[in-house]
Amino acid sequence: MPAPQCATCHKARAALRRPRSGRALCGACFCAAFEAEVLHTVVAGRLLPSGAVVAVGASGGKDSTVLAHVLQVLAPRLGISLRLVAVDEGIGGYRDAALAAVRRQAARWELPLTVVAYADLFGGWTMDAVARSTAGSGRSRACCTFCGVLRRRALEEGARLVGATHIVTGHNADDMAETVLMNFLRGDAARLARGGGLGSPGEGGALPRCRPLQLASQKEVVLYAHFRRLDYFSEECVYAPEAFRGHARHLLKLLEAARPSAVLDLVHSAERLALAPAARPPAPGACSRCGALASRALCQACALLDGLNRGRPRLAIGKGRRGLDEAGPPRDGEPERAPAPDAVPAF
Amino acid sequence: MCQVGEDYAEPASEEPPPRQPGREQKCVKCKEGLPVVVIRAGDAFCRDCFKAFYIHKFRAVLGKNRLIFPGEKVLLAWSGGPSSSSMVWQVLEGLSRESAKRLRFVPGIVCIDEGAACGLSPEARAKALAEMKLILQTVGFPWHVVALEEVFDLPPSVLRCFAQEPVGTEGAYKAAVDSFLQQQHVLGAEGAGDSPSLAQGEEQLSWPCTQDPQNPQSPDRPPTAAQTEALSRLFDSVKTLTAKEELLQALRTHLILHVARTHGYSKVMTGDSCTRLAIKLMTSLALGRGAFLAWDTGFSDERHGDVVVVRPMREHTLKEVAFYNHLFAVPSVFTPALDTKAPEKASIHRLMEAFMLRLQDQFPSTVSTVYRTSEKLVKAPRDGCAAGPPGPRCLLCMCALDIDTAGAALLSQGGPPSPRHRAAVLRLPCEHEGLALPGPPAALHLGRGPAPQPEGLHRAADPGVPG
């Protein structure tokens, strides 16, 4: 059976059906529609004002590649300039290959590229070192917990280095849907209360962040990359199989197969969750050590690093934060004592 | 294992407990009896302690929320399944206790016969009905058995939200209880001497132990074949099992509320257990009902105005319910439902159920975590969303619409207005595909899509969208 005509231009043969609406489109019309939708998201949400210097978090993967490409296409219309910021977490066998892809992209698009490495920013703690530190005793290594927090800090640092005014990341609708499922399954009311918008406006001195691809489903991102023949790195992280997100991702794939609108319905739900005021996170202040945005005395990045440096990596994860105080890592020769309970504010 | 806030100072809960299970283990509560059931992660209870624990939870949920006033008429929605049977049994036991601890409301039972929607033959339906009547007669409350076909006879007024009665304050509840107790005393003094409160209480509650004379249009008249056929056609026209489930729930709710209204019940109790509510919460999330989770899964649901739906079984897990029913011989009737024997991938509901139960095997606190999160949800629009006067309500589920019709693109998920965004077509999402509602147009609860226009409703067939 021959493919139907493209529903938009009525000239070329349709090359795909859009997952959401089922319309048959040819490659060029689909790419145009995709770009138009991203433009609409950015303009309607007033995410990137004219004259903004935008740091694109580039990992070499499909989402950030598509994001950078689309923003480059739209840059003249929006009046923004782009800088690529890549984060090197120090994951052997994975990140080096991804960085090579980012470098090729930067050369191809002629965009300035800055690479920030965990090893430089966080006192030698690469993700491999973190994984070795947290391994053992049959519990999960919680790598994604560390990597996610530290990466956001690294991205912020990289953006400041290049003088950016906004940070964009390539999270797509599937990512947002997985996040809301995951947060419910783990009972993370604070994140549920905070999440679900199109990014954060940048309170307390942090750079405003947004996710222009948030309403694009993952299938469409892949199709766009295919039709525009973009070169990206498509292997998954070495630590990904251990992540709890895998369960949410598996569930999302099943839901999508049963009902294609489930992904966007989840994003819609997440935007409208109403949580009790007591469950919401406290208003953010500044970290006492590094000055970044923090809802407690120490920002999560400093808290995690503190735990790592003390040899107690899980100190800042979960209820273990109760034992955290302002004292630095123990000096040599001093026995490791549990910090005095009255010195710690109740979390 | 992956719970936020879990204390990593303790060893992970997957490790086997150091004590040897078996002969030496005693009930964790009374430390004497032989345990018969393990609740949660390792608490073994003996039979009596389990019964006390179970009953206490039921009473505590009712007492904590203070919504059921003494002397109030409460309708128990009984499906025949284990959770609602357990609830009915709890109410029965609670009403027959000594006066201080007795439950103080007037119960009735409603049972909806959904055989036509599930495609059962008339013989199967009659058989199930006979079994149900047997149990209903044993229980002895006034009962109403209603066929789902009667939903076609509902007046349009059910779709209008009645004025909300203000929820009583703490003071009002206490005052009501005190005055009720005083009444009891007075009647007891006036009446005969021996065991006054019990006898007087029974008379006041006045439920007949045999046939119920209270429902003149009682169920012994089976629905006509034309109605059954119309109902089957309605359900067949709905393409996906997910949508059928949602439709069935909407129709069932409306019918139960109608029965409650016509017979003067002000509260309806449903037997949703903790497990079912956790699954329902995740399902509602996946269906786009994030704004209404507090109504769908909270203890009380007052969106219908005059009749309030309460869920007293919401802290009992399915495991506890099953064990209680088994140990204490609670009768229940099995009737096939819409998704009985359906494959796992057939609907969102089935998928979510299978997923949650599987995850619960691996992480035993999954259901309780989701339940605890649901307790933190409030019934209000999220901060930052339109906090103005209450807007139009959905026709089917009576919740305030969560679509921003003014065209703010952030809240409408359809992306940029396509060139087809003209005033003519109202695109219905899958769940309402089968319903071509005649009569004046009303606002429908769309998951996504362009702003609804006040023209007629069309059934827009979406080509290429897989069922």
Residue-wise pLDDT tens digits, A272-323: 888 888 777 777 777 887 777 777 778 888 888 888 888 777 777 765 454 4
State residue B351's pLDDT score.
93
Angle at A212 between CA A211 and CA A218, to 5 degrees: 90
Residue closest to B465 by CA, chosen among B428, B430, B417, B413: B430
Say whether B188 sits in a helix, a strand or coil.
Answer: helix
Residue closest to B449 by CA, chosen among B437, B434, B467, B431: B431
B432, burial (CB in 10 Å: exposed 0-12, middle 13-18, buried 19+): buried
Residues of B in contact with A36 (CB under 8 A): 416
pLDDT tier for residue A242 given thresholds of 50, 70 and 90: confident
The pLDDT of A149-164, averaged and rounded, is 88
Residue closest to A177 by CA, chosen among B338, B413, B223, B241: B413
Say whether B37 sits in a helix, a strand or coil.
Answer: strand
Pairwise CA distance, residues B73 & B176, whole Å: 14
DSSP H helix total and E strand total for chain A: 12, 10
pLDDT tier for residue B116 given thresholds of 50, 70 and 90: confident
Helix (H) or strand (E) holding B440: none
Comparing A9-23, B118-132, B377-391, B437-451, the range with the smallest average pLDDT is B437-451
Pairwise CA distance, residues A219 & A173, whole Å: 10
pLDDT tier for residue B108 given thresholds of 50, 70 and 90: very high
Helix (H) or strand (E) holding B142: none
Q: Residue B203: is its pLDDT beyond 70?
A: no
Q: Residue B208: is its pLDDT beyond 70?
A: no
C-alpha distance from residue B367 to each of A55, B2, B282 (Å): 41, 13, 10
A274·B382 Cβ contact <8 A: yes
**CB neighbours of residue A42 within 10 Å:** 22
Pairwise CA distance, residues B69 & B60, whole Å: 15
Helix ranges (H only) for B206-314 are 225-237, 241-262, 274-286, 293-297
Partnered with residue B46 across adjacent β-strands are B35
Chain A: residue nearest B384 by CA?
Answer: A272
State residue B440's pLDDT score.
37
Q: Which residue has the higher pLDDT, A262 or B162?
A: A262
Say whether B385 sits in a helix, a strand or coil.
Answer: coil
CB neighbours of B64 closer than 8 A, spacing ≥ 6? none
Residues of B in contact with A275 (CB under 8 A): 376-378
Q: Residue B239: is its pLDDT beyond 60?
A: yes
Comparing A288-302, B11-25, B97-111, the range with the smallest average pLDDT is B11-25
B288·A266 Cβ contact <8 A: yes
State residue A167's pLDDT score.
92
Query: Quick check: B260 and B112 in contact, CB under 8 A?
Result: no
Residue closest to B312 by CA, chosen among B81, B83, B48: B83
CB neighbours of B204 closer than 8 A, spacing ≥ 6? B71, B187
CB neighbours of B47 closer than 8 A, spacing ≥ 6? B33, B36, B327
B3·A318 Cβ contact <8 A: yes
Min Cα distance A127 → chain B (Å) is: 19
State residue B466's pLDDT score.
44
Pairwise CA distance, residues B274 & B365, whole Å: 12
Question: How does the average pLDDT of chain A come out, rounded?
Answer: 81
Q: Residue B216: is its pLDDT beyond 60?
A: no
Q: Residue B63: is its pLDDT beyond 80?
A: yes
Query: Quick check: B75 and B260 in contact, CB under 8 A?
Result: yes
Min Cα distance B70 → chain A (Å) is: 30
The pLDDT of B436-455, averaged and rounded, is 37
Comparing B158-172, B286-300, B388-402, B428-442, the range with the smallest average pLDDT is B428-442
What end-to-end distance do the CA atoms of chain B give, in Å?
36
Query: Quick check: B404 and B411 in contact, CB under 8 A?
Result: yes
Q: Kindly report, residue by residue over B386-414, the tens digit of the pLDDT.
A: 445 667 778 788 888 877 654 333 433 34
Say which DSSP state B377 is in: B
DSSP H helix total and E strand total for chain B: 13, 8
Strand A285-286, strand A293-294: pairing: antiparallel
pLDDT tier for residue B429 given thresholds of 50, 70 and 90: very low
The half-sphere exposure of B114 on its side-chain side, counting CA atoms within 13 A, is 26
State residue B388's pLDDT score.
54
Q: Which residue has the higher pLDDT, B20 or A283?
A: A283
Strand A81-88, strand B35-39: pairing: unpaired
Q: Phi first, then psi: what are they for A302, rounded to 5°? A: -60, -40
Question: How does the average pLDDT of chain B come out, rounded?
Answer: 74
Residues of A in contact with B431 (CB under 8 A): none
Min Cα distance B297 → chain A (Å) is: 13
For tokens 């429908």, the residue is B444
Give the length of chain A: 347
**CB neighbours of residue B91 within 10 Å:** 22
State residue A206's pLDDT score.
81
Query: Quick check: B408 and B441 in contact, CB under 8 A?
Result: no
For tokens 């407690």, the residue is A296
Q: Residue B103: is its pLDDT beyond 80?
A: no
Residues of A in contact with B296 (CB under 8 A): none
For tokens 């969303």, the residue is B385
Candidate from B11, B287, B366 with C-beta closest to A265: B287
Q: Which residue has the higher pLDDT, B381 or A84?
A: A84
State residue A94's pLDDT score.
82
Pairwise CA distance, residues A24 & B463, whole Å: 10
Pairwise CA distance, residues B140 & B404, whole Å: 49
State residue B218's pLDDT score.
46
Comparing A213-227, A306-320, B91-105, B450-464, the range with the smallest average pLDDT is B450-464
What end-to-end distance do the CA atoms of chain A give, in Å?
64
State residue B195's pLDDT score.
40
State residue B25's pLDDT score.
78
Min Cα distance A140 → chain B (Å) is: 8
Angle at A257 between CA A251 and CA A259, to 5 degrees: 100
Min Cα distance A102 → chain B (Å) is: 29
Candidate from B5, B408, B462 with C-beta closest to A318: B5
Name which of A211, A253, A268 to mutate to probe chain B: the one with the most chain B Cβ atoms within 10 A of its Cβ. A268
Q: Which residue has the higher pLDDT, A205 or B347?
A: B347
Residues of B in contact with A260 (CB under 8 A): 465-466
Pairwise CA distance, residues B370 & B275, whole Å: 9
**CB neighbours of residue B230 within 10 Å:** 16
**CB neighbours of residue A100 within 10 Å:** 12
Residues of A in contact with B351 (CB under 8 A): 251, 254-255, 258
- In one-letter notation, the amino acid at residue A201 is P
B6·A278 Cβ contact <8 A: no
Residue closest to B116 by CA, chosen among B246, B252, B260: B252
Percent of chain B with pLDDT over 90: 24
- In one-letter notation, the amino acid at residue A211 is R
Query: Quick check: B46 and B33 in contact, CB under 8 A?
Result: yes
pLDDT tier for residue A331 given thresholds of 50, 70 and 90: very low
State residue A68's pLDDT score.
93
For tokens 């994030």, the residue is B290
Partnered with residue B110 across adjacent β-strands are B77, B144
Give the length of chain B: 467
Comparing B145-149, B236-240, B422-426, B447-451, the range with the smallest average pLDDT is B422-426
Q: Kindly report, residue by residue over B248-280, the tens digit of the pLDDT.
A: 999 999 999 999 989 999 999 999 999 999 999
State residue B432's pLDDT score.
37
**CB neighbours of residue A75 within 10 Å:** 15
Task: Report CA dihedral (B49, B51, B56, B61) to the nearest 10 degrees.
Answer: 140
- In one-letter notation, the amino acid at residue A190 is A
Query: Quick check: A315 and A336 in contact, CB under 8 A?
Result: no
CB neighbours of A234 closer than 8 A, spacing ≥ 6? A61, A62
The half-sphere exposure of A137 on its side-chain side, counting CA atoms within 13 A, is 11
**ipTM exceeding the 0.90 mark:** no
State residue B353's pLDDT score.
93
Min Cα distance B408 → chain A (Å) is: 8
Q: pTM to 2 decimals? A: 0.79
State residue B434's pLDDT score.
35
State residue A1's pLDDT score.
67
The pLDDT of B20-25, averaged and rounded, is 60
Say which DSSP state A51 is in: T
**CB neighbours of residue A327 within 10 Å:** 12
Query: Quick check: A309 and A235 in contact, CB under 8 A?
Result: no
